[in-house]
Every structure is written in structure tokens, then in C-alpha cells.
Amino acid sequence: MRVIAWLVVLLGATFAAAPFAQANQADPPWGWSESQVREIVNRVRAGRDLNPPSWPGGARVAVLLSFDVDNETLWLRNGDTSVSGLSQGEYGSRVALGRILRLLDRHRIPASFFGPAVSFSIAPGMIEAIQASGRHEIGIHGWIHERNAELERADEARLLRMAIDRMTELTGKAPVGYRAPSWNFSENTLELLLEMGFLYDSSLMADDRPYELLASGSPTGLVELPVDWILDDAPLMNPLGDRYSNPRDVLQVYRDEFDVAYREGTMFLLTMHPHLIGHRSRIVVLEALIEHIRARKEVWFGTHEAAVRWVKQQAGMN
């Protein structure tokens, strides 16, 4: 099914790409010309590697912890208003976020929090809690966790603008970072991020290291902090998911990812969700991971924003 869905996405993308694709709308992918394939893959592609020679303080590896504060929006975005599902999301604001923040405070480390504007609007105490230490960043994660690739450009732009305005109002600061809901990045998303003046994106997966995004082959100046499903708690820690894994086994995956990042001198970026990682049997795993990382020297913990400002400065991008 996934392959079919992906082909539908690719075909849809081709249909939308004027002008040559219009003449080939009915072509199956095996009938595409090489120039068509190149045009498709080059729309948004990884440009130059921006991994710095060293991270702040001379560190050899950057550790960027991020929390996507989705809570109830994971159900709402599907039109699912089931009381049970919504209560599972509500755990994120009611219990899990506080537990995560206390853990970060104990270790005095910063993190980046991305959340749909609706999520923060229905539980406004979360903003104050995140801002209390002065260490954390809050970024954009859509309006209601909408799926960008299913939206018309005008709707995606309207929801993004609404999210920016609401989050600026709630946090008192214009956000600079974007993470697409479910990392669902439409053909228009890059252009919209540039139009709306974002500093960076953190939704794509072409590298372990920060890189510059290209739009149809041209450098955009927008920095990508790449993510990956391996480095995400959602597929492995959802108790109703078909890939559910023992949290202690997931810890081993995270440790191995960090250890190789350390050896290679790059970046370790982890995406988590309060309503998943914030449960008791998982928060101990996150703490064990932090302790494993902190046992190494030359490690820098930073927000995504601080990391991007550093790599831009090191690369002479201004």
C-alpha cells in the first residue's frame, strides 16, 4: 500500500509540474523521461553540507533534542473526536510535558519544542512552562497538524500564516524554525517558508548533518536540520502501532545513533512527542540516553535555532 501511495504522490506531483508534464499526465513512472525524473527530484533537494568543523565550545558533536507537542491534534487533524483518543493526547499537556521539563532542568540542557498552534491554544499553560527556564526554543508545527501535501497552496499558506501569528502572540517572539506536521512537506512548503522568512526547516531526511536546501537546483539559504523515522519515538513507542518496540530496545537504537554521530563528529537530532516519551516507562529511557551522552566529553547540547545560527556563521552564510 505504501508503494502505491508513494506512486500516487509522485504522479500527482508530476501532474502539477507544468509545462512538460502536462503532455505526459497519463504516463506511468516507467514511461517518464530522464529529464522528468530529474525535474521531480530536484524540486527540493539537499545542497551543500553545512556540518561545521566543530560545534560551540569546540564540541565534536551537537545534540539537538526536539519535542513535537502534538497532543490532541493528532486525533483532531483526522476529524477524530473520540473522547478516548483525545484523552490520550491530553496526557501530553497534563502530565508529560512537566515531566520532560523537569528532566531537562535536572540536566540543565536546552531543547526545541514544536507544536501546532491549536495544541498550545487549548492548553496555554504549556508556553509558560516551556519558557520558564529561558533555555528552550518554541517553533512552528502547523495549525492543527494538517497534512500539507493534501492542501492547495493558498490553504497551506493561510494555515501557516495563522500558526505564525498565533504562536507569536502566545510566545511573545516570532518563531524562526519550522517542522512540518508528520514531516509532510508539500511541493509548495519550501517556497512558503522562504516567503515567510524562516531561518530553518527540520522535516526532511537527506543527511545526518545540517545542509542547505536547494529549490530546483538553486541554493535557498534555508538550513535543513534533518530528521529520520529511526530517530523518532512515534513509530516505535506508540502502544497501538504495528511497530511497537520495547522502550529499552529503542534506547539501544538511540545510543548507537549517538555513538556513530560522536565518532563521525556530526549531529544527533531526536524527535519525541510528550504524550509518548513522557510516560513513566519511557522517561527513564530518555534520562538513560542523556546520561549516556553526558558521559562523553566534547558534546554540545543546543536548541535547533542556536545550531542553525552556528552553522550559518561557520559557513559564512548571512
**Shortest distance, position 70 Cβ to Zn ion, whole Å:** 4
Which residues on neighbouring strands pair with residue 12, listed in sequence order?
none
Q: Which is nearer to Zn ion, 171 or 203 (CB)?
A: 203
- Among the residue ranges 61-69, 193-201, 208-216, 262-270, the one whose residues contact Zn ion (CB under 5 A): 61-69
Cβ atoms of residues 283 and 91 within 8 Å: no
**Shortest distance, position 237 Cβ to Zn ion, whole Å:** 14
**Shortest distance, position 98 Cβ to Zn ion, whole Å:** 19
The end-to-end CA distance of the chain, in Å, is 44
- Among the residue ranges 60-68, 129-137, 248-256, 278-286, the one whose residues contact Zn ion (CB under 5 A): 60-68
Q: Which is nearer to Zn ion, 70 or 137 (CB)?
A: 70
Q: Rg of the Cα trace of the chain?
A: 20
**Shortest distance, position 198 Cβ to Zn ion, whole Å:** 17
**Shortest distance, position 275 Cβ to Zn ion, whole Å:** 10
Q: Which is nearer to Zn ion, 209 or 275 (CB)?
A: 275
SS3 content of the chain, % helix, strand, coil (to 5): 50, 15, 30
From residue 229, alpha-carbon distances to 149, 233, 235 in Å are 18, 8, 7
Q: Which is nearer to Zn ion, 67 or 258 (CB)?
A: 67
Q: Which is nearer to Zn ion, 70 or 305 (CB)?
A: 70
The SS3 of residue 113 is: strand
Cα dihedral angle (214, 187, 10, 201), rounded to 10 degrees? Answer: 60
**Shortest distance, position 115 Cβ to Zn ion, whole Å:** 8
298: left (phi over 0), alpha (psi -120 to 50) or beta: left
Which residues on neighbouring strands pair with residue 178, listed in sequence order?
140, 201
Helix (H) or strand (E) holding 145: none
The Cα 292–Cα 301 span in angstroms is 13
Q: Which is nearer to Zn ion, 183 or 300 (CB)?
A: 183
Q: Which is nearer to Zn ion, 39 or 233 (CB)?
A: 233
Size of the site for Zn ion (CB under 5 A): 2
In terms of Cα–Cα distance, which of 168, 202, 166 is closest to 185?
202
**Shortest distance, position 167 Cβ to Zn ion, whole Å:** 14
- Cell numbers for 23: 503532455
Q: Which is nearer to Zn ion, 68 or 146 (CB)?
A: 68
From residue 265, alpha-carbon distances to 45, 180, 200, 262 in Å are 23, 27, 21, 5
**Shortest distance, position 141 Cβ to Zn ion, whole Å:** 6
Which residues on neighbouring strands pair with residue 212, listed in sequence order?
223
Site for Zn ion in 63-82 (CB under 5 A): 68, 70
Can you give the binding site for Zn ion, defined by CB under 5 A?
A: 68, 70
